[in-house]
Structure 1
Amino acid sequence: MSVLNLPVFSCSLDPASRSRDLAFMSSELLRRQGHRSEVVDLTEYELPAFDNAQVFESTSFTALHEIISGADGVVLAFPIYNWAPAATVKSLIEATGATGQDGRRSAWFDKVVTFVCAAGLPHSYMAAAAMGQSLMLDFKCMINPYTAYISERDWEGSNELEAGRADHLAKTLRVHAELSELLADRTYSSEWEI
């Protein structure tokens, strides 16, 4: 087994975020498998709203683009608001996924991507489907078919997951690492293409 670079992005701006807790749990599970995994907390980056112009001058854009580009796989941990992923995760993808002038290239091409979602209720478990489809079709990402969807009902106490959900989170991240390793030696490289 090779040591992979598998960052986990905490995509919530809420100071009491459950998805941030899940990001740290996810990173720890990946490190226990022997991989490099840092939590990239978007509260520390102040990424400007995507405007397809000034955002590219931001030091936050440069740093986040570099982290994603250098990753073997990416975990996105985010809250579900109004039956959809939080706007912060979409803004991250829009900025670091943009390709344009001056040799700018999307950081997302051919990445293995896993979703770890925090939600209030268990009903919106398919909320990330459209985002997964976009990553797959636009950037030829491999979307992990295992999504860790954790609702408020799945927590025991302040920061312990119910055993079944903890097991599912662990399995989701084992699959993430395995897919990332299997695809590390892919023979192709994708660009914008339909």
Structure 2
Amino acid sequence: MRHVTLIATSLDTSSKSQLLARHAATLLAERGIAHTLLDLRDSPELAEPLKQATHVIFAVPIYNYDVNAAAKQVIEDHGDALEGKTVGFLCQAGGQRSYMSILSFANALMLDFRCWIVPRFVYATGNDFDGDTPGENIRHRVAELVDSLLKGTP
């Protein structure tokens, strides 16, 4: 049985990557897919949800052309629990120029933990949101990511 664990890694109270994670969780619920949303602001326990997961989505902020330190800490502490899982990414950044920033993080997951990386990811900036709601284009792209993730099998 498929179980998707979403890890929202931003610690910011007004995080847009958190909004992307919540939108993806809504789509999974609408599709009847078992899922767990872990918000690192209040979910210190990751080991068990990651063990149960067949698929993982990281929702990450991009800072200075890289994922945030909290996302890196997840793979430092729980990389073994990610081994062999299918992984997708929801990224939120301040500008358009760092859209390839997720690649070093994806490479670490792929090479160190043999994760299957979904070749489609979402990259959004503040302009892609209508207040606290992802805009139509981003909602569509999140749906495409969820569909691609669920097609992938470890």
TM-score category (smaller protein) = over 0.9
1:166 to 121, 139, 144: 139
| % identical equivalent positions | 31
Distance of 1:35 and 1:25 partners within structure 2: 14
Gaps (5+ residues) in structure 1?
46-59, 98-105, 184-194
The structural deviation recorded for 1:160 is 2.4
Q: Name the counterpart of 2:4.
A: 6
Instruction: Give the conservation status (yes or no) of the 8 Å contact 1:7–1:27.
Output: no
Instruction: Give the conservation status (yes or no) of the 8 Å contact 2:19–2:134.
Output: no
Instruction: Give the conservation status (yes or no) of the 8 Å contact 1:5–1:72.
Output: yes
Gaps (5+ residues) in structure 2?
none
Structure 1 vs Structure 2 CA RMSD: 1.2
Distance of 1:76 and 1:166 partners within structure 2: 16
The structural deviation recorded for 1:84 is 0.5
Distance of 1:177 and 1:34 partners within structure 2: 12
Distance of 2:77 and 2:135 partners within structure 1: 35
Distance of 2:82 and 2:54 partners within structure 1: 10
The structural deviation recorded for 1:122 is 1.5
SS in 1 for 2:89: strand
Q: Does 1:114 align with 2:122?
A: no
TM value normalised by structure 2: 0.95
Aligned residues: 154
> Partner letter of residue 141 of structure 1?
C
Instruction: Give the conservation status (yes or no) of the 8 Å contact 2:20–2:134.
Output: no
TM value normalised by structure 1: 0.76
1:23 to 5, 21, 24: 21
> Partner letter of residue 169 of structure 1?
V
The structural deviation recorded for 1:162 is 2.5
Q: Does 1:89 align with 2:71?
A: yes
> Partner letter of residue 51 of structure 2?
S
2:35 to 34, 37, 47: 37
Distance of 1:147 and 1:24 partners within structure 2: 16
> Partner letter of residue 139 of structure 2?
A
The structural deviation recorded for 1:161 is 2.4
2:120 to 146, 152, 162: 146
Instruction: Give the conservation status (yes or no) of the 8 Å contact 1:28–1:37.
Output: no
Q: Name the counterpart of 1:52.
A: none
1:175 to 140, 148, 153: 148
The structural deviation recorded for 1:164 is 1.9
SS in 1 for 2:46: helix
